[in-house]
Amino acid sequence: MSDTPAPLPHPDVALPVRGRAYVRADAEVVSGLSRVTAATASAKLHAMGITRSYVEGPRPLTPGQRVVGSALTLQFMPQREDVASGLGQEYVERRTALWAVLEQVQPGDVLVIQAYGSRYSGCIGDMLARYLVRKGGVGVVVDGRIRDADRIRALGLPVWCTGTTPHYASQTDLFPWAYDVPVAVGGTLCLPGDVVIADGDGPVVVPQAMAASLLEAARDQEEWEVFSRERLDGGARLSDYYPLTPDTREEYEAWRSARAFVR
């Protein structure tokens, strides 16, 4: 009688899973939002009824970077030996959603990765990051770890993650499962084609259908904040200029008109 365990029965699951086709965020709207901070986006979305836009956990790998782009999504799932695992070797990953999603990268995409805050899986490394950049990808947001941190910093790719690890993606507890699907990152829902705004405050997910409205609302706030900073730096009272009162709003409108005339 052999002591070798019998092979596990394999369920009827075809990997990688791919979601349905989607439309990317409008390029002009994304370009306009490139001047909007994550803080302004979060505040305006809250006023518009979206209260969970902030991706909690990921921090910039390189301080001072920011990115705005259309979300391309990748979902990791817990490993289970009868379906998929990383017990073989790293080369197994080339047949997973991790390789497949990189072939879908288009210019302006931000790769958004669901990784459950795992402290061990290095969801993307140097070679994959280089390929993403070559295809026109502009950033990565992952609620988990990355590896090859020094090389990725040198590459200049903006990345928001929860830390670093020497492990490759499926070396421990997760497996690249699906792409072009809804993902949960840092407690926030991100759908393919949503807009991602990330800076030193962290990443914010903007529902694609609300991006143009957010841009219009944010333009006004960003501009009156410039006016308020000038007044505060000149010695004005905080309560008069942040936020604006009806009187200082009139002053701001006059200031804005004068600036438009000068231009």
206 pLDDT band, cuts 50/70/90, is very high
Q: What is the pLDDT of residue 74?
A: 98
Average pLDDT (114-140) is 96
Average pLDDT (170-195) is 95
Contacts of 42 (CB under 8 A, 6+ apart): 53, 54, 201, 204
How far is the C-alpha of 30 from the C-alpha of 70, rounded, in Å? 7
Helices 38-47 and 211-233: crossing angle in degrees, nearest 10, is 120
What percentage of the chain reaches a pLDDT higher than 90?
A: 78
pLDDT digits (tens, 9 = 90+) for 20-65: 999 999 999 999 999 999 999 999 999 999 999 999 999 999 999 9
Task: Give the number of C-alpha atoms closer than 13 A to the C-alpha of residue 111, restricted to the C-beta side.
Answer: 39
Which of these ranges, 35-39, 193-197, 222-226, has the smallest mean pLDDT? 222-226
> Dihedral (C-alpha) 35, 37, 41, 44: value to the nearest 10 degrees?
-90
How far is the C-alpha of 120 from the C-alpha of 172, rounded, in Å? 6
pLDDT of residue 118 exceeding 50: yes
How far is the C-alpha of 220 from the C-alpha of 97, rounded, in Å? 41
Identity of the amino acid at 218: A
pLDDT digits (tens, 9 = 90+) for 80-108: 888 876 655 455 667 899 999 999 999 99
Going along the chain from its start, the domains and CATH numbers come out as 17-208 (3.50.30.40), 214-262 (no CATH)
Enumerate the β-bridge partners of residue 203: 198
Q: Give buried/exposed letters for 53-85 (b at 16+ CB in 10 A, else e).
A: bbbebbebbeeebbbbbbbbbbbbbebeeeebe
Q: What is the pLDDT of residue 112?
A: 98
Average pLDDT (257-261) is 75
How far is the C-alpha of 71 from the C-alpha of 24, rounded, in Å? 8
DSSP state of 210: G
Q: What is the pLDDT of residue 87?
A: 59
How far is the C-alpha of 158 from the C-alpha of 16, rounded, in Å? 26
Cβ neighbour number for residue 2 with a 10 Å cutoff: 5
CA-to-CA dists, residue 54 to 20, 28, 79, 106, 163, angstroms: 25, 23, 27, 24, 18
| Residue with tokens 């008109």, as numbered in its chain | 257
In angstroms, how far is the first alpha carbon of the chain from the final one? Answer: 88
Average pLDDT (153-179) is 94
| Residue with tokens 């959603």, as numbered in its chain | 97
How far is the C-alpha of 54 from the C-alpha of 38, rounded, in Å? 8
